[in-house]
Chain A
Amino acid sequence: MHEMSIATALLEQLRRIAAEQQAARIVEVEVHCGVMQQVVPESLQLAFEAASTDTLAAGARLKIVETGLAARCRSCGEQFEAAIDNYLCPRCRTADVEIVAGRDIVLRSVVCEV
C-alpha cells in the first residue's frame, strides 16, 4: 500500500499547481505509472479519494495510465523493452540493466476551473 504515499505526494503537487494557476477546483488529473512501481490502480484511486477530501482536488477524476519498461544493458549498451519479470539482454544474454523508463510516476496533466 505505498499508494497512500504516492497519493499524498501527488496532492502536494496539485496544491502547488492550483495555487500557481489560482484555480478554484481541480476536476481531472492524469498520472502515468511505470510498471516497476507496481501501483494497483484501484488502491491509488481509493487513496487519492481519501487524501483529497477537503482539498481543491476533492471529487477530481484520476486517470491512471500504466507505462512500460525500457532497459539499457550495462554490459553491451543495448536498449530494449524489458518485462517486469525479464531483464535479459537480447544481445549479450546478461541481466544487468539500467532502467530507462518504467520506474517513475509522472503527473502529466491537470484540468482545473479558475
Chain B
Amino acid sequence: MKINVVESVLKANDAVARENRRRLDAAGVVAVNLMSAPGSGKTLLLEKTIPALAAARCAVLVGDLQTTRDAERLAGIAAQVTQINTGTGCHLTATQVGEGLDSLDLRSIDFLFIENVGNMVCPAAFDLGEHRRAVLLSVPEGDDKVAKYPTLFQPADVILLTKVDLLGVLDYQRSKVYQDLSRINTRAPRIEVSSTTGQGLDRWFAWLKDQRRAQVSDS
C-alpha cells in the first residue's frame, strides 16, 4: 500500500523553534544565533560584547560537542550562561535551545546569544527560534570560504569579518570575500572587527542595539 504524504521532515524542529520564538517575544528578548567555523572568535567576541551591552541583561546558550570551557569563560561576564553539550551532534536543535531557555530567567534579560556549534554546514539547516543570524568569518580561515559555504552566508542577517588585525600578516584578499558575497547576500551588513584591538566593535554593538529596538517596537 502506497501512501502519499507531503510533510516536512523538519516539522517537529520548526514547531519547537516557533515556540522558542514565542517565548522570547513574550519576554521581550532578542535572540541572536552566532554561527561560524570553530575558532573564528565567537566566544571572544561575546566576552567583549556583553560588558558593552550591560552584562546583567545578557544570557548565553553555548553549544559545543564537549567541555564546559566556553561557558566557564563567559560565566563571569554574562548574567546567565548555560552550556549545551551536543555529544556527537554537529549543530544545535530547537529542542536543545528550548531546554536551554528553561534554565534561564528570560524576564530579566534583553539579549540572548546562542553560540552554535562551530561548523559551517549543519547549523544553517536548523531554525532554533532565533530572531537574527550572525555569521562570523575570521581572516585566518581564508578568503575563499563564502563561495565554499554559501548556505551559511545566504540567510545571514549580519556578517562579521573577524580578526582583521591579522590582515597585514596573512595573504588574504578582502575583495574576494566581498565579491563572493555580492552573489550570495547583499542584504546583511558587513562589519570588520578585531576583538583583540577593538576595531569595528562599536558598529557591531550599534547593530545589536538596533535589533533590540526593532524587537521592542514590533511587539
A contact residues, total (Cβ < 8 Å): 39
For B186, give its contact among A1, A86, A94 (CB under 8 Å). A94
71-114 of chain A: CB within 8 A of chain B: 74, 84-88, 94-97, 99, 104-114
Q: In this complex, what residue of B is CB-closest to A21?
A: B3
B217 at the interface (CB under 8 A from A): no
Q: With the chains together, A86 CA to B151 CA distance in Å?
A: 10
Which residues of chain B are near A114, meaning CB under 8 Å? 1
Q: Given A1-B122, A37-B125, verify A86-B184 contact (CB < 8 Å).
A: yes
A67 to chain B minimum Cβ distance, whole angstroms, is: 12
Q: State whether A95 touches B182 (Cβ < 8 A).
A: yes
A5 interface contact, C-beta 8 A: yes
The reply on A13 being an interface residue by CB < 8 A is yes
- Contact B184–A2 (Cβ < 8 Å): no
With A2-B125, A85-B147, A104-B8: A17-B186 Cβ-Cβ less than 8 Å: no
Q: What is the bound-complex CA distance between A36 and B121, given in angstroms?
A: 10
Q: Which of the segments B33-41, B85-93, B98-106, B199-207 contacts the partner chain?
A: B85-93
**Band of interface residues on B:** 35 or more
Q: Once the chains bind, are B3 and A106 in contact (CB under 8 Å)?
A: no
Q: In the complex, what residues of A have CB within 8 A of residue B219's CB? A: none
Please give, as numbers and ranges, the residues of chain B lying within 8 Å of A112 by CB-CB distance.
Answer: 1, 3
Contacts of A84 in B (CB 8 A): 150-151
Q: How far is the CA of A106 from the CA of B4 in the complex (A)?
A: 11
CB-nearest residue of chain A to B3? A110
- Tell whether, in the assembled complex, residue B12 and residue A12 are in contact, meaning their CB atoms are under 8 Å apart: yes
Please give the distance in Å from B146's CB to the nearest CB on chain A: 9
- From known contacts A2-B90, A10-B9, infer whether A36 and B151 are also in contact, taking CB-CB under 8 Å: yes
CB of A31 within 8 Å of the partner chain? yes
Closest B residue to A9 by beta carbon equals: B9
Tell me, in angstroms, the Cα distance from A2 to B123 when the chains sit together. Answer: 8
Given contacts A31-B9, A84-B151, A105-B8, contact A96 B89 (CB under 8 A): no
A-B contact pairs, 26 of them (CB 8 A): A1-B122, A2-B121, A2-B122, A5-B93, A9-B12, A10-B9, A12-B12, A13-B7, A13-B9, A13-B11, A17-B5, A21-B1, A37-B125, A84-B150, A86-B184, A87-B184, A95-B181, A95-B182, A95-B183, A99-B154, A105-B8, A105-B9, A107-B9, A108-B5, A110-B2, A110-B5
Chain A residues within 8 Å of B, Cβ to Cβ: 1-2, 4-6, 9-10, 12-13, 17, 21, 23, 28, 31, 36-38, 74, 84-88, 94-97, 99, 104-114
